[in-house]
Structure 1
Amino acid sequence: MNSITVPSDHEANMQVTPGTVSIHLRPGGKTSFMLKVRPLEKYPVDLYYLVDVSASMHNNIEKLNSVGFDLSKKMANISLDFRLGFGSYVDKTVSPYISTHPGRIHNQCSDYNLDCMPPHGYIHVLSLTDNIADFKNAVNKQKISGNIDTPEGGFDAMLQAAVCQSHIGWRKEAKRLLLVMTDQTSHLALDSKLGGIVIPNDGNCHLKDNIYIKATSMEHPSLGQLSEKLIENNINVIFAVQGHQFDWYKDLLPLLPGTVAKQIESQAANLNDLVIEAYQKLISEVKIQVDNQIKDLYFNITAICPDGSRNTGMEGCKNVRYDEEVLFNVSIAMKGCTTTGGQKYAVLKPIGFNETTIINIYRNCACQCEDSARHKKVCADETFLDGEKSHCKTTNCSSNEDTSFEKCKMHQNQLVCSGQGDCIGGKCFCHKSKLGKVYGKYCEMDDFSCPYHHGIVCAGNGECEAGKCKCFDGWEGEHCQCSSLSAKHCINSKGQICSGRGHCVCGKCECTDPRSFGHLCEYCPNCNNACDENWSCVHCHHSNNVSQIILDQCKTSCTYMMQYSDKTSDANDKKKPCCSSSPKRKET
């Protein structure tokens, strides 16, 4: 039967309950439970400023000098524990992103008559601290830098700030805010190839002495990768953008859950209010997503908002206050048991929160133990939590392995379950493979070990059985890539396939007789029966003395012989037939 176990959580400071859930499901089964999210009041806040320090941001950086103290006073109304940190970025330090001219490589902004620091991908300047004086000193010492092109390396720096948790000092219990200040767009993943950088971003931390050391050897992250790392590390992003590029960042918000975009006024006059407004918007939104999704397990999540509205889990609820609770109706259905073994669990993650719900999955894929009045069966509960199988040993369940194993073999001399599964009660339960799906009555089928055609196993026109494509009706070829109708192109005028000297493969003849050649294997001058087969075509070489009926026949059945004879006949005897014959043969 299907069942669910939800432990009681009594911690007053928990925002997400329950913390763990255990469910037991059989194929076709379904169960559900309620998940609650309650935002805490006076949440600890970690705010890390990630600032574009290219020359055009000069005025905004100066404004940061007064941010720390003013902002900390305003944040006191919504958080009792507030910390600030700081980092800077420009772009990848290779051409064509920066000037590599010897006179400019160390001072990219000489055109502004300013003394700039060398360009850099990302530098972590100050770890999160509640000492506002330290933040102010770090900002005062910050110099601007520069580059050539307008897109900057913001996504590179954002990923490092998210994953380098120990360097930044992100606290587990805090709301994590990453404020990105810029006036330009950011480079995307494939842009790096312009600089000869082709190694994909690995999503790991690469800070050495607080400097990002892979800026010139790894690509920018993709939007999907960046989104994954931000969610994984519970980072909420505030894009603080000055100028006409604000709309570019605003369009990114659906692709980066847990982010907001705000526009900076001239000389960042509204920066403090911007942070407060963005923070309140972020904490008033409650959304949820499923991590570690399991094959054949389907989640349907409905958010029940305090105002009575209902949305999908990823749409969630907006304008949620501290004293309000968001309910999520989580429904889990199991379609089948195509994979077995190994630890399995799913994670429900409210975006931007540091708490999750772990769902331990127990999938029962074999028969159930039945009443003593019913016939005996072997029972197996395939427990995904510890990967072990437990077998019923009661009076109404028994096993006869010698007999059942034979039922699990496709042929007598083959392996049990084709060596790709376990035999339980005379029935195969296929192993899970990281390469793909293993299935079939004897686990003889899979979707990965056969030849591929245009990236698809068996061209999508057959099934993979024991490493070879078994084509569906109407298809043929090693990869099942050819229509059976193409065989008509292999038939000669006599109705023979490849003139009886070869096989038709995808509408083309493959000659099996090494002496034959031609599109239909029709040319074979050294074959023993060549003269016998083509004697009737001799008249075609004496076209001056034959009737029109014979000429018409020559065009349909002897054209290739006429062509061949013309190519091989002696220059002084062009009308000599290809084969000599006895008078008896001629009479016939």
Structure 2
Amino acid sequence: MYTEVLKVGIFLFVLCFCCGLNPTVDLTASASQCSGSRCGECLITEGCAWCKDRNFTGTRCDNAARMNSSGCLSIVHRKEHEIIYIQDKDFSDGGPGQDSIQIKPQHVKIKLVPNKLLSVFKVHYKIARNFPLDVYFLIDPSFTMRELQSSLKNLSKSIAKEIENLTTDFQFGLGTAMDKVILPFTRTSPRYLDDPCSGAGLGTNDTCEPAYSFRHRQTLTPNITAFENALDDIRTTANLDKPEGLFDGLMQAMVCGRKIGWRNKARRMLLYATDINFHQAGDGRLAGILEPNDGECHLSAKGYYTKAEIQDYPSVGHIIQKAKENNINIIFVIGGNSSQLTNQQVRNLYYDKLAQLLPGGTPGASQLSTDARNILNIVSGNYKRLRETVKLVVNEDIEELDVKMYTNCRTGGRSADRTNICSKLTIEKWADFTPVIQSNFTACPENRNLTFTIFPEGLEERVQVDVEHVCDCDCQLEPEAEPNSAECSFNGTFECGICKCNPGWIGDRCECDNRGTVEEACGTDNGICSSAGQCTCRKCECFKGYSGDKCECNDENCRTYDKLLCGGLSRGRCVCGTCVCNENYTGDACECLKSEDPCKSNNETICSGNGACECGRCVCNVGFRGRLCNLCTHCPGVCIDNKDCAECVAFNQGLYNSSVCKQRCKNVETAPYLQPATAEDQNAPVTIKSCIIEDSFGCFIYFNVHDSDESRKIVVKETKWCPAGPPNLLLVGLSIAGAILLIGVILLIIWKLLTTLYDNVEFSKFEKELLNPTWEKSENPIYKECVTKIDNPMCDSGFNPDEHDDKILIQEMEVDTTLSEKQCHAYEKTVDTEDEK
């Protein structure tokens, strides 16, 4: 009855799933994709089928439509998936003497067909009323966290009572963590080792507990009184720097399962309470600690962490890894009265983002109130959140399989979403998950069986899934398969219409004995089948290009002609490295034509008498060329022979008249300039000879002679060059005399202009002097007047002639001494000019 209901449910779910999920997987295959020598290899591709008729001669691996058209009667199609429920216990709320069961089925086996989607397998999750809960409190024992210690003791019974409303099976445990007892993290002088709070002024008469890294104080227990007593034993301690080493304690609390008391099947909550940031990997180098944290348990009999001063702090990634491995849900509680940073700053900077990375999906750290009395709500609230949310994960990445998780918990069953998380669950409302599984193989794997688990994150409950890849058809298995069948020469199994030969036998009917060593049958000094073939059925099957009993002949190692082996099949063929030529050819590469017909001219002359015929081609003597050696491009007379045609065509002159020119000079043309010509066919090269000929007028004609094997063409430059005649001596002499005369005239004109200019300048200067009034007062130095006027210098000096006795001198000068004083300066002595003379 259960099986029939399951089949109906599977059919309905497939219909709904195909409409709701709409997985984007291409499960079709064209005929060209169908391949395989056996039935199972063929059907591994979706859309392919196998024909198992005994005498079928067509392609056995193809799509069904082509099989039918080919006349196949027995077609093998792909199988369907098969799900076997090995353990499928119903849900259980647990309680005294009962195990809680929240997930089902617990163990299934799936016979999976490769490259085919499996979407009918379901996993159900339901909250158990009394599912076990383990809560471990990891507390910062610094002075600023003393309120939490007090509140935990006062509220421990209230916390227990609150949790009893959710589950009756719970346990509490306790541990404290401070920091490594080494500088610079903790003072190491004897005074501070015994009392780390010495001189701190904490206002208490009690001394602090000696410094330590982590101490496990109470194993998980349902005895609330024992938990309270462990709280009473906590004494304040301290470290030196601001951050604290709670990560050491966190790691030990997670990995020391037996000493902490974690139960295998329980939800594990670890409440981490502090008011400051943490040390992490790398900080240990400040104290010279270089050994990384190994993530192992190192607790002494009294619960102390023994490798605190030997190993470095754990990293954030290491904490996350161990939390996932041990299914620990870490709850960060931030509070206390630290003066370094506010609680909000500690949360934002250090713990909120870290909480989101840990298992359980905690949105952030919880804020502890000033009196720490909200610890009750923090514990119960986080447990409710963890209990009401489930996240199904696969234990590891499986390369062979593609597993995708779908659920309809968000839509209430109307459609399925691709998600592995369900929230807001209750005892009455559970979640249904659908793992969509597919293998993507092009060939059946060697390891056809594998196992993986599906589990709720943070819990130990598991769904074990055993997968067996179904790669064989039923006709490959007994009783349909016939071992040692007569159809296979009693040397193989007849399966699915073909023979699968026993070891040592090969062939379509296993008729070939392949036993014994290959070296014995096909060995040579150069390897099996001369390394140029395969030894099949004790005979060499040579690769292409090789022949012989043991492939010792290389039929592609002959010489080539015209880029073809032995000149091509029309000339010969390569046999064991040597060219075997056809009847009309000879030579190492069959390159030579035996007949001399291609070398004969119209008069049956061999190579025009200018060469010899070798291999069907003319080899011309020096100075001759052309296919028949009929061209002599560089022989004397080539230019002279074509002069008359060049003259008559280009310039309508010379010996030929127009009628003769048209008849004899058809291969002559003109061009504005001459340029080298190139041949398009390399087998018929063109030779160019440049010619310069002088005509009867003394001008030079330029033309090129283009010779090829088949024709000759003459190209004449449209213009000719005519040199100038002898010079005219009379004209040259007259030109020189005229040039000299012209230069003399020009020089005279220049001289005349300069003298005229000079005279004008002097005349203008003379006119200016005439107009100058001082000209009249000046004396002509050439002209001498008859009367000479002499100024008496003695008048100016106050000379009085009456006071001197020299009257004789005055009388001799006939000067009137009675001159007035005014006239003294202007007296004159008249001298007869003639007497002076």
Aligned residues: 398
Please point out which of 184, 194, 210 is paired with 2:276: 184
Please point out which of 117, 120, 129 is paired with 1:30: 117
Q: Would you say the 8 A contact 2:448–2:468 is kept in 1?
A: no
Aligned to 1:137: 229
Equivalent AA in structure 2 for residue 240 of structure 1: V
Pair 1:3-2:96 in alignment: no
Q: 1:526-572 deviations in whole A, cap 9, x for unaligned?
A: xxxxxxxxxxxxxxxxxxxxxxxxxxxxxxxxxxxxxxxxxxxxxxx
Q: Would you say the 8 A contact 1:292–1:345 is kept in 2?
A: no
Q: Bigger radius of gyration, 1 or 2?
A: 2
> Using the alignment, how far apart are the partners of 2:139 and 2:308 within structure 1?
17
Aligned to 1:95: 183
> Using the alignment, how far apart are the partners of 1:185 and 1:29 within structure 2?
52
Equivalent AA in structure 2 for residue 330 of structure 1: P
Q: Would you say the 8 A contact 1:180–1:240 is kept in 2?
A: yes
Please point out which of 242, 246, 249 is paired with 2:351: 249
RMSD between superposed Cα atoms in Å: 3.5
Q: Would you say the 8 A contact 2:481–2:493 is kept in 1?
A: no
Pair 1:276-2:380 in alignment: yes
Equivalent AA in structure 2 for residue 150 of structure 1: K
Q: Would you say the 8 A contact 1:239–1:259 is kept in 2?
A: no
Please point out which of 139, 143, 152 is paired with 1:51: 139
Equivalent AA in structure 1 for residue 90 of structure 2: E
> Using the alignment, how far apart are the partners of 1:377 and 1:331 within structure 2?
38
> Using the alignment, how far apart are the partners of 1:274 and 1:29 within structure 2?
48
Q: Would you say the 8 A contact 1:236–1:352 is kept in 2?
A: yes
* 1:13-92 matched pairs, under 5 angstroms: 13=92, 14-32=101-119, 33-92=121-180
> Using the alignment, how far apart are the partners of 1:224 and 1:335 within structure 2?
33
> Using the alignment, how far apart are the partners of 1:201 and 1:24 within structure 2?
43
Label 1:147 to 1:369 Cα distance change in 2 as closer, same or farther (>3 A).
Answer: farther
> Using the alignment, how far apart are the partners of 1:310 and 1:149 within structure 2?
53
> Using the alignment, how far apart are the partners of 1:363 and 1:12 within structure 2?
30
Q: 1:54-97 deviations in whole A, cap 9, x for unaligned?
A: 33323322322212122122222222233211111112233322
Query: Shift of residue 10 of structure 1?
Result: 3.3
Q: Would you say the 8 A contact 2:174–2:220 is kept in 1?
A: yes
Query: Shift of residue 249 of structure 1?
Result: 1.6
* 1:179-218 matched pairs, under 5 angstroms: 179-209=271-301, 210-218=303-311
* 1:565-580 matched pairs, under 5 angstroms: none
- Find the residue that maps to 1:254 and give its secondary structure: helix
Equivalent AA in structure 1 for residue 104 of structure 2: T
Please point out which of 421, 426, 436 is paired with 1:331: 436
> Using the alignment, how far apart are the partners of 1:96 and 1:7 within structure 2?
59
Contiguous gaps of at least 5 residues in structure 2: 1-78, 93-100, 336-342, 485-491, 507-512, 524-535, 537-837
Pair 1:124-2:226 in alignment: no
Q: Would you say the 8 A contact 1:9–1:18 is kept in 2?
A: yes
Query: Shift of residue 280 of structure 1?
Result: 0.9
Q: Would you say the 8 A contact 2:475–2:495 is kept in 1?
A: no
Tell which has more relative contact order, 1 or 2 (C-alpha 8 A, sep 6+). Answer: 1
Label 1:395 to 1:132 Cα distance change in 2 as closer, same or farther (>3 A).
Answer: same
Aligned to 1:523: none
Q: 1:461-513 deviations in whole A, cap 9, x for unaligned?
A: xxxxxxxxxxxxxxxxxxxxxxxxxxxxxxxxxxxxxxxxxxxxxxxxxxxxx
Aligned to 1:285: 389
Please point out which of 357, 360, 363 is paired with 2:463: 357
> Using the alignment, how far apart are the partners of 1:220 and 1:165 within structure 2?
20
> Using the alignment, how far apart are the partners of 1:159 and 1:338 within structure 2?
44
> Using the alignment, how far apart are the partners of 2:418 and 2:319 within structure 1?
23
Label 1:295 to 1:198 Cα distance change in 2 as closer, same or farther (>3 A).
Answer: farther
Q: 1:96-151 deviations in whole A, cap 9, x for unaligned?
A: 22223343233323243352222322211011122222111111110121112333
Equivalent AA in structure 2 for residue 22 of structure 1: K
Pair 1:301-2:394 in alignment: no
Query: Shift of residue 180 of structure 1?
Result: 1.0
Please point out which of 234, 237, 246 is paired with 1:154: 246
> Using the alignment, how far apart are the partners of 1:88 and 1:356 within structure 2?
32
Please point out which of 500, 505, 509 is paired with 1:398: 500
Please point out which of 316, 320, 328 is paired with 1:227: 320
TM-score normalised to structure 2 length: 0.43
Label 1:312 to 1:182 Cα distance change in 2 as closer, same or farther (>3 A).
Answer: farther
> Using the alignment, how far apart are the partners of 1:121 and 1:272 within structure 2?
27
> Using the alignment, how far apart are the partners of 1:331 and 1:257 within structure 2?
24
- Find the residue that maps to 1:133 and give its secondary structure: helix
Pair 1:319-2:424 in alignment: yes
> Using the alignment, how far apart are the partners of 1:41 and 1:375 within structure 2?
55
Q: Would you say the 8 A contact 2:245–2:279 is kept in 1?
A: yes
Query: Which deviates further from its counterpart, 93-102 or 275-284?
Result: 93-102
Query: Shift of residue 398 of structure 1?
Result: 3.3
Label 1:155 to 1:369 Cα distance change in 2 as closer, same or farther (>3 A).
Answer: farther
Equivalent AA in structure 2 for residue 229 of structure 1: K
Equivalent AA in structure 2 for residue 9 of structure 1: D
* 1:485-564 matched pairs, under 5 angstroms: none
Label 1:91 to 1:343 Cα distance change in 2 as closer, same or farther (>3 A).
Answer: farther
Query: Shift of residue 36 of structure 1?
Result: 0.8
- Find the residue that maps to 2:118 and give its secondary structure: strand
Equivalent AA in structure 2 for residue 236 of structure 1: N
Label 1:223 to 1:23 Cα distance change in 2 as closer, same or farther (>3 A).
Answer: farther
Q: Would you say the 8 A contact 1:108–1:119 is kept in 2?
A: yes
Aligned to 1:266: 370
Pair 1:344-2:446 in alignment: no
Q: 1:178-197 deviations in whole A, cap 9, x for unaligned?
A: 11111122223333333333
> Using the alignment, how far apart are the partners of 1:371 and 1:127 within structure 2?
58
> Using the alignment, how far apart are the partners of 2:201 and 2:381 within structure 1?
37
Q: Would you say the 8 A contact 2:448–2:469 is kept in 1?
A: no
Query: Shift of residue 240 of structure 1?
Result: 1.2
Label 1:377 to 1:313 Cα distance change in 2 as closer, same or farther (>3 A).
Answer: farther
- Find the residue that maps to 1:301 and give its secondary structure: strand
Label 1:17 to 1:97 Cα distance change in 2 as closer, same or farther (>3 A).
Answer: same
Q: 1:341-377 deviations in whole A, cap 9, x for unaligned?
A: 49731111201223111111223568885599x9999
> Using the alignment, how far apart are the partners of 1:225 and 1:263 within structure 2?
25
Query: Shift of residue 335 of structure 1?
Result: 2.3
> Using the alignment, how far apart are the partners of 1:305 and 1:270 within structure 2?
32
Q: Would you say the 8 A contact 1:289–1:351 is kept in 2?
A: yes
> Using the alignment, how far apart are the partners of 1:290 and 1:18 within structure 2?
15
Label 1:19 to 1:10 Cα distance change in 2 as closer, same or farther (>3 A).
Answer: closer
Q: Would you say the 8 A contact 2:214–2:304 is kept in 1?
A: yes
Query: Shift of residue 28 of structure 1?
Result: 2.5
Label 1:40 to 1:371 Cα distance change in 2 as closer, same or farther (>3 A).
Answer: closer
> Using the alignment, how far apart are the partners of 1:121 and 1:46 within structure 2?
23
- Find the residue that maps to 2:282 and give its secondary structure: helix
> Using the alignment, how far apart are the partners of 2:315 and 2:334 within structure 1?
20
> Using the alignment, how far apart are the partners of 2:186 and 2:449 within structure 1?
49
Label 1:204 to 1:376 Cα distance change in 2 as closer, same or farther (>3 A).
Answer: farther
Contiguous gaps of at least 5 residues in structure 1: 379-391, 414-425, 427-588
Aligned to 2:791: none
Aligned to 2:330: 237
> Using the alignment, how far apart are the partners of 1:198 and 1:369 within structure 2?
64
